[in-house]
Amino acid sequence: MSCRVLCVTDQSDRPETELFIGLKKAGVDIEIMSNPAGKHFHRLKNGGVTAYELALKSRFDPAGMRRIAHQLNQKPYDILYCFNNPAVSNTLIASRSRPCRIITYRGIIGNIGLLSPASWTTHLHPRVSHIVCVCEAVREYMVKMKFLGMKVPPGKPITIYKGHRLEWYDGPAADPGEFGIPANAFVAGFAGRNRRRKGLHVIIDATRHLPADAPIHFLLMGRLESDRRLRQRIKKSPFNDRIHLTGFRDDVPAISAACDAFIMPSTEREGLSRAVIEAMSRSTAPIVSDVGGLPELVVDQQSGLVVPPKDPAALAGAIMTLFENPEKRRRMGEAARQRIQTDFNIETTIDKTRKLFEQLLLSPAHNR
């Protein structure tokens, strides 16, 4: 069954880009409207996908709406797939009175609600047929939203994991010595944005529960240096000389490969952490909190360790488990890599997305 699809996004990441290319190769007539500043924009064209330039400035961007409407006037599209809030709201307005099926992508828990007017201009809009959720935790959040008689139709949110390929992250491991870490030290890594919900403070507080003489070092990757409160917390830690801020890095997988463990102690709203996936792809044993999609990625005691959120003592215990058991750490790292290969691969994402398109073609389109 043939269908014509227009995807509207911003700066698509590697998994999104490869999804588009894979769908094209699978026979889907797919075109993309995307920000040309994205690092993978030209990869789309090299992969045989028609890509139009679009840089939306806000959820209601008149110039962007006109650009989308112009493209919709060029040919009839069966499906419009929108990957972020500005893409959804602008596409909904630009596509009025056109018989297109509209689907959206949601990669995080929260910031959406039945009493939020903004939510009704995006994912909750009646013309949106399906919300593709990055993990089951996001889907469950959607279907559990209720207020009086209002709720999200149970079949509207669906889960399709964002897929990866192991070879995207392969390559030589970094040298921890670059950061002043001794050769025989145990290295625990973290990568993420400087947001409290990422749980960096839990890592720092966990150091108070570790043996003071343990040769354990922490590599914290991201733009974290300007956070004065974080620096003060590190200064008060008994491990202050063993906590290393790397700054922004474009070689996170290589640094993660040099770590003995990778920690993601999120406290809330986590979707499917790319940083954890990169570390698992490099056979680094993960320690994650039982939040959002993290326990979907990591099977506790098999492909890593899952600990309660906001529990520094439990996190410290997990770190010590991997520190004291090198063979267990190695097995978990290998199982982590295999889990990404088996359960979070891009081919599965392509196939499930193509089948969703085929299913949508059998349903009526809404144009109001």
Residue 1: the pLDDT is: 57
Residue 189: the pLDDT is: 98
Per-residue H/E/C for the chain: CCCEEEEECCCCCHHHHHHHHHHHHCCCEEEEEECCCCCCHHHHHHCCCEEEECCCCCCCCHHHHHHHHHHHHHCCCCEEEECCHHHHHHHHHHCCCCCCEEEEEECCCCCCCCCCHHHHHCCCCCCEEEEEECCHHHHHHHHHCEECCEECCCCCEEECCCCECHHHCCCCCCCHHHHCCCCCCEEEEEECCCCHHHCHHHHHHHHHHCCCCCCEEEEEECCCCCCHHHHHHHHHCCCHHHEEEEECCCCHHHHHHCCCEEEECCCCCCCCCHHHHHHHHCCCEEEEECCCCHHHHCCECCCEEEECCCCHHHHHHHHHHHHHCHHHHHHHHHHHHHHHHHHCEHHHHHHHHHHHHHHHHCCCCCCC
Residue with tokens 């939020």: 116
Model pTM score: 0.94
What are the pLDDT digits (tens) for 155-190?
999 999 999 999 999 999 999 999 999 999 999 999
Domain ranges across the chain: 4-163+345-361, 166-343
Residue 85: the pLDDT is: 97
Residue 368: the pLDDT is: 54
Residue 95 near residue 366, CB atoms below 8 Å: no
CATH superfamily of 166-343: Glycogen Phosphorylase B; (3.40.50.2000)
Q: What is the CATH number of domain 4-163+345-361?
A: 3.40.50.2000
Q: What are phi and psi of 86, to 5 degrees?
A: -60, -40
In order along the chain (368 residues), what is the average pLDDT of each group of 10 residues? 90 95 96 95 92 96 97 96 98 94 96 95 96 98 93 96 97 97 97 94 98 98 92 96 96 98 97 97 99 98 98 99 98 99 98 96 72
Same fold, 4-163+345-361 and 166-343: yes
Cα distances from 163 to residues 178, 185, 309, 346, in angstroms, run 32, 33, 26, 4
Partners of 289 in the β-ladder: 307
Residue 179: the pLDDT is: 96
In angstroms, the CA 92 to CA 36 distance is 22
Angle at 316 between CA 311 and CA 320, to 5 degrees: 150
What are the pLDDT digits (tens) for 220-269?
999 998 889 999 999 999 999 999 999 999 999 999 999 999 999 999 99
Sign (positive or negative) of CA dihedral 244, 249, 255, 256: positive
Residue 365: the pLDDT is: 72
Residue 282 near residue 262, CB atoms below 8 Å: no
